[in-house]
Amino acid sequence: MRSARVILVRHVDTTWSECGRLQGSQDPPLSERGRARLDRLARFVARLAGGDRLLVLSSPLRRAACTAESIAMALGVSVQKADELREVSLGQWEGMLEKDIAMSGAERRAWEVLDPEWSWGGNGDRIATRVAATERFLSGMVSGSDVDLLIAVSHGLLIQGLLANWILSDIRNAATISVPLGSVSEVRLVNGKFEAVFVGRTADHATGSVDT
């Protein structure tokens, strides 16, 4: 079975993330800070990519798509958008500030541990369902193409769930994984299993490990 690299990139800052507003499936624009970070992040990912045959994938939400387009430009390739990389829906909480959300004790506990079976905001997505679909999509892209590297630009909750499933073998540990805005994580698919190379590294602070 062939091996391949997968680089997961979380989009940069938006006008909503800067004020703590929940985004989910909503589509706010990048902030000035976010736009200022694009070039350095793109060059960082390009250095990691090396000369591998690659494909750049992106969530269709513009905070991810703009991040992906900057990376693709640095690499001289195009971006393929995929709904499977869209952020987990936060239901009726989207657009709200966390401090303004009235949560029950059970909801607060589910929030804090990123409970994979919990429907966010009452009518939003379950992380477990979205992660399973995205994992199937990425595995299929690896097995169905001749590229050595997939670069997938996506969102915080989805990336945390994927990494927990892959490197900790338990999606219930998603809350223990830190993937800041503009961060990069790399895994390798070897013999059908994902193995971590590093997690949560940024162009500004090139640190990160498998146990963040």
Q: What is the mean pLDDT of residues 145-174?
A: 94
What pLDDT was estimated at residue 2? 65
What pLDDT was estimated at residue 183? 98
**HEC sequence for the chain:** CCCEEEEEEECCCECCHHHCECCCCCCCCECHHHHHHHHHHHHHHHHHHCCCCEEEEECCCHHHHHHHHHHHHHHCCCEEECHHHCCCCCHHHCCCEHHHCCCCHHHHHHHHHCCCCCECCCCCCEHHHHHHHHHHHHHHHHHCCCCCEEEEEECHHHHHHHHHHHHCCCHHHHHHCCCCCCEEEEEEEECCEEEEEEEEEECCCCCCCCCC
Does residue 165 lie in a domain region?
yes
pTM over 0.85: yes
Q: Is the pLDDT of residue 155 over 60?
A: yes
What pLDDT was estimated at residue 207? 47
Other beta carbons within 10 angstroms of residue 121's beta carbon come to 18
Does residue 180 lie in a domain region?
yes
Does residue 132 lie in a domain region?
yes
What pLDDT was estimated at residue 206? 56
CATH number of the domain encompassing residue 56: 3.40.50.1240
CB 66 within 8 A of CB 79: no
Q: What is the mean pLDDT of residues 88-99?
A: 94
Does residue 15 lie in a domain region?
yes
Does residue 209 lie in a domain region?
no
Can you give the residue range of the structural domain that contains 146? 4-202
Q: Is the pLDDT of residue 52 over 80?
A: no
Distant-in-sequence, close-in-space partners of 168: CB < 8 Å, separation ≥ 6: 176, 177
pLDDT digits (tens, 9 = 90+) for 136-145: 999 899 888 8
Token pair recorded at residue 153: 């630009």
Given the DSSP bridges, would you call strands 4-10 and 149-154 parallel, antiparallel or unpaired? parallel
Does residue 175 lie in a domain region?
yes
Does residue 56 lie in a domain region?
yes
CB 4 within 8 A of CB 188: yes
CA distance 89 to 79: 23
CA distance 41 to 4: 22
- Count of the separate structural domains present in the chain: 1
Q: Of 16, 17, 7, which is closest to residue 42 (Cα–Cα)? A: 7
Does residue 185 lie in a domain region?
yes
pLDDT digits (tens, 9 = 90+) for 107-121: 889 989 999 999 998
